Amino acid sequence: MVDHWEILDVYKALFAIVAGIILGLERELKDKVAGLKTITIICLGATLFGILSYKVGGTNNPTHIAAYVVSGVGFLGAGAIFKDGFSISGLTTAGIIWLAAAVGLAIGFSEFYLAATFMGGTLLIIFLTPLINRLFRSKKITKLLKVTFIKQNTSYKEKFIDELRSLVKSVEVKKIILSDNIIEVSIEVVINEGKVNRVEQFLIENKSILSFSL
């Protein structure tokens, strides 16, 4: 095989850099774990894999190397996802990492219009989603409630949970810890937005509990 340099490969590299900057800039401005530099490198690397796959595999089997990018980028995306309490963060960043690799491969295979179309669609979703969320915002809030009781007042626990159920959408006991003479109960509660103050007032006025955090 003759190793040769093509001007088209330079154009692909420049296009990949621009695409990576556009996709990564939004993550960078929001101070996410994978920002402009990471997304740009992923897009540029995927483009190189696309070019090599086409040059090495030839026209008969151009996806030989590129196929491994799909699975390999999954590990990068997984590194951006982490659990924060009851919420999971980093899913959007992982999705953009995945898309950056796809856009890079499309550029590597000279599918410039296809890459631009899907990149534009992604940006449209990213910037329209906050507006849609404001219009159709969920009125339910998930909280972790930690309540402490005196050991002798164990019977109050069930009564307390029953009273709590009448104020919230759902109650799920996650953990019970016994320490010395204190029982700490961790409860996941789903509260209607309009009833948060009412639940807080119930907790403050309840004399069967020692302390709580919500």
Q: Within 13 A of 176's CA, how many CA atoms are on the CB side?
A: 9
Q: How many C-beta neighbours within 10 Å does residue 168 have?
A: 21
- State yes or no: pLDDT of 2 exceeds 50: no
Same domain, 122 and 145: no
User: Do the domain assignments include residue 203?
Assistant: yes
User: Do the domain assignments include residue 92?
Assistant: yes
| Residue 46 tokens, joined | 């995927």
Same domain, 130 and 56: yes
Report the number of distinct structural domains present in the chain.
Answer: 2
- The pTM (predicted TM-score) of the whole model is 0.63
Question: What pLDDT shows up at residue 1?
Answer: 43
Same domain, 113 and 165: no
The residue segments making up the domain with residue 179 are 140-213
Domain end marker among 93, 115, 135: 135
Same domain, 119 and 36: yes
- Residue-wise pLDDT for 44-81, tens only, equals 988 888 888 877 766 666 666 777 777 777 777 666 67
Q: What percent of the chain has pLDDT over 70?
A: 84
Nearest to 76 by CA among 126, 123, 41: 41
Question: What pLDDT shows up at residue 24?
Answer: 84
Same domain, 129 and 150: no
